[in-house]
């Protein structure tokens, strides 16, 4: 399998190269050259298979030529062996046709673990027999940082520099990052906002002087391997609810469009998905794009679902590329226009293609709180604010007579205050992270300037060989 850039001018790569690269050199995102498909018989044969065996079958076409099924089985077994539930991503029934797919049983209590535990092992395997050394730089509003740090702590050949906005992540989120004391993990609290931290990271990638000295890489969802790992749970859940014989709908609390794009990939591979519901909070750029063709940046409003408080959804470009006939130069032009004017219109082909599978909904604070209470009172389930946004949309949007699965993206104990405010129930941290508040923390606080941050990193990172 080869991977090509959405903007048409970066070289094509194999699975190993695409995993280590992150962003394409032409500014685009990598996608498979063609979508592999699983036959109806192959999907039917997933019935009863474990999560790890499902992962092997779903991922093998994407890693062909680089990792065989035996290698995938070993990696997936190791990654998902760290999850606290034997089913890895268990399903829960809420009423006649509403279901939750719990994706938060990994070490840091959010769905990001599903992909990052696997990605951490891929990095280690791909770098183990090479002199290369990766310098991961990232900005996090909470969940990505903790999941990446847990997955990469103590691994050879990788240093992680994770920037978070000082004082603007929850205590649980900060401690999940700063209590990891492995020498290859470097937490930097930036005196500024998440956008300031993100801008610093972008500037590092775009400054040849700095980027040239280190082999920089990314762990956010622009990394193809992350999306690939997320395709697995769509198959795992749908097969349990009757696929391929019966279609299933999914509702996905969405920010950067990575998780729901993995659902799109599952559909392209042949999984009978009736609808993909893109659920946003009041930061609704994707709802405006999918319902009215208007993809334009507004201002970010902070909400109790911070992992969905975004302006630009990077992975949306992958969908637009695929729906627009996979025309790299046209995509490059459309994105250049967007970067210049902070707005773009979807083409007719993009709008019609999206409408065939996607629908969207915008969920405000009241609807979110009401849905948390509904889940508590009617199904005895305490859910987190992100999941509540997905479930509110799932209950409101007409998906036809099919089971609707909401992706439960975070454990409620990660967002205790918001959950308690809406439901009166204060969720407790699961035993595996219960001593989080007794552990020692380590991080530095730096001003939000390029020189301060790059100076700190340059003193500690390993230069290119």
- Least separation, in Å, of the C-beta of 51 and ligand PLP? 19
Token code pair at residue 115: 């992909």
E strands along 140-272, which residues? 158-165, 185-191, 215-217, 248-253
Q: Whole-angstrom Cα distance, residue 227 to residue 258?
A: 6
CA 56 to chain centre: 20
- Least separation, in Å, of the C-beta of 141 and ligand PLP? 9
Main-chain phi, psi angles of 447, to 5 degrees? -65, 155
Are 461 and 214 in contact, with CB atoms under 8 Å apart? yes
Q: Whole-angstrom Cα distance, residue 209 to residue 30?
A: 25
Residue 236, SS3? Answer: helix
- Give the binding site for ligand PLP (CB under 6 A): 110, 112, 143, 221, 253-259, 307-308, 386, 409-410
Are 228 and 47 in contact, with CB atoms under 8 Å apart? no
- Least separation, in Å, of the C-beta of 168 and ligand PLP? 15
Q: Whole-angstrom Cα distance, residue 152 to residue 371?
A: 35
Q: Whole-angstrom Cα distance, residue 447 to residue 20?
A: 29
Is 112 part of the annotated catalytic residue set? yes
Are 119 and 155 in contact, with CB atoms under 8 Å apart? no
Annotated catalytic residue within 69, 112, 342, 414: 112
Which residues are catalytic, by number? 112
């Amino acid at each position: 399998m080869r991977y090509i850039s959405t903007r048409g001018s970066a070289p094509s790569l194999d699975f190993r190269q695409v995993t280590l690269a992150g962003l394409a050199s032409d500014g685009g995102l990598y996608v498979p050259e063609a979508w592999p498909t699983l036959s109806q018989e192959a999907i039917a044969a997933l019935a009863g298979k474990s999560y790890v065996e499902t992962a092997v079958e779903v991922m093998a076409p994407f890693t062909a030529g680089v990792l065989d099924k035996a290698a995938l089985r070993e990696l997936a077994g190791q990654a998902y062996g760290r999850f606290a539930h034997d089913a890895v991503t268990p399903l829960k029934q809420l009423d006649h046709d509403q279901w939750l797919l719990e994706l938060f049983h990994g070490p840091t209590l959010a769905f990001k673990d599903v992909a990052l535990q696997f990605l951490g092992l891929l990095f280690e395997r791909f770098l183990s027999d090479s002199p290369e050394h990766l310098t991961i730089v990232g900005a996090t509003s909470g969940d990505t940082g903790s999941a990446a740090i847990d997955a990469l702590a103590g691994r050879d050949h990788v240093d992680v520099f994770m920037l978070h906005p000082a004082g603007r992540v929850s205590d649980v989120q900060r401690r999940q990052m700063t209590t990891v004391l492995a020498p290859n993990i470097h937490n930097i609290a930036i005196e500024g906002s998440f956008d300031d931290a993100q801008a610093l990271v972008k500037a590092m990638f775009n400054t040849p002087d700095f980027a040239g000295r280190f082999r920089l890489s990314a762990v956010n969802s622009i990394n193809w391997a992350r999306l690939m790992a997320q395709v697995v749970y769509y198959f795992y859940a749908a097969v349990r609810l009757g696929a391929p014989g019966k279609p299933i709908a999914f509702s996905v609390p969405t920010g950067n469009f990575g998780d729901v794009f993995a659902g799109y990939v599952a559909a392209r591979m042949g999984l009978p998905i009736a609808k993909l519901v893109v659920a946003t909070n009041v930061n609704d750029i994707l709802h405006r794009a999918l319902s009215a063709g208007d993809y334009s940046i507004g201002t970010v409003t902070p909400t109790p679902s911070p992992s969905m408080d975004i302006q630009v959804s990077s992975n949306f470009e992958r969908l637009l590329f695929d729906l627009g006939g996979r025309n790299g130069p046209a995509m490059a032009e459309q994105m250049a226009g967007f970067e210049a004017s902070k707005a773009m219109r979807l083409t007719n082909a993009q709008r019609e293609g999206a409408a065939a599978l996607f629908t969207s909904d915008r969920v405000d604070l009241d609807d979110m709180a009401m849905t948390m209470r509904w889940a508590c009172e009617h199904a005895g389930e305490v859910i987190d604010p992100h999941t509540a946004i997905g479930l509110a949309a799932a209950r409101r949007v007409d998906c036809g007579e099919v089971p609707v699965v909401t992706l439960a993206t975070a454990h409620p104990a990660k967002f205790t205050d918001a959950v308690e405010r809406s439901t009166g129930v204060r969720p407790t941290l699961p035993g595996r992270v219960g001593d989080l508040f007794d552990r020692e923390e380590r991080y530095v606080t730096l001003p939000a300037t390029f020189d301060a941050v790059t100076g700190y990193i340059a003193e500690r990172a390993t230069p290119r060989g």
